[in-house]
Amino acid sequence: MGVDDETLADINSWPQSDRFTPVERLGLQLADAMTSTPAEVPDELREQLLEHLTPTQLTELASAIAWENHRARLNRALGVREVGFSDGAFCVLPLRDDV
């Protein structure tokens, strides 16, 4: 199952959007916490996630988030930019506070 364009477009406003389930919201909260600098994940968030996920599932989710964060930062450091492979699809960029 994929993510539809409307849901993808709401990713930057996920706390206010009604397109995400409670578990998805917790996952997005984890992603925000893990990709912030410094990365700090509150114990309460881990506990809330473990109400819905097994420890193995939480580990897999955190690993996927960490890998994507690593890849995004590596691409940025090396100057890798989009080259048009999406063919009409879009990739939501994070909101920036400094613009």
**pLDDT, one tens digit for every residue, the chain (99 residues):** 677 888 888 888 899 999 999 999 999 999 999 999 999 999 999 999 999 999 999 999 999 999 999 998 999 899 988 776 666 666 666 666 654
Domain that holds residue 39: 5-78
Is residue 86 in a domain?
no
pLDDT of residue 44: 98
User: What is the reported pTM?
Assistant: 0.79
pLDDT of residue 3: 77
Is residue 15 in a domain?
yes
Measured in degrees and rounded to the nearest 5, phi and psi for residue 10 equal -90, 0
pLDDT of residue 86: 65
Helix (H, G, I), strand (E, B) or coil at 60: helix
Q: Is the dihedral of CA 61, 18, 91, 2 positive or negative?
A: positive
Is residue 99 in a domain?
no
Print burial letters for 56-78: b (CB count within 10 Å at least 16), e (below 16). Answer: eebeebbeebeeeeeeeeeeeee
Type of residue numbered 3: V
pLDDT of residue 8: 84
pLDDT of residue 82: 75
Name the domain count of the chain: 1
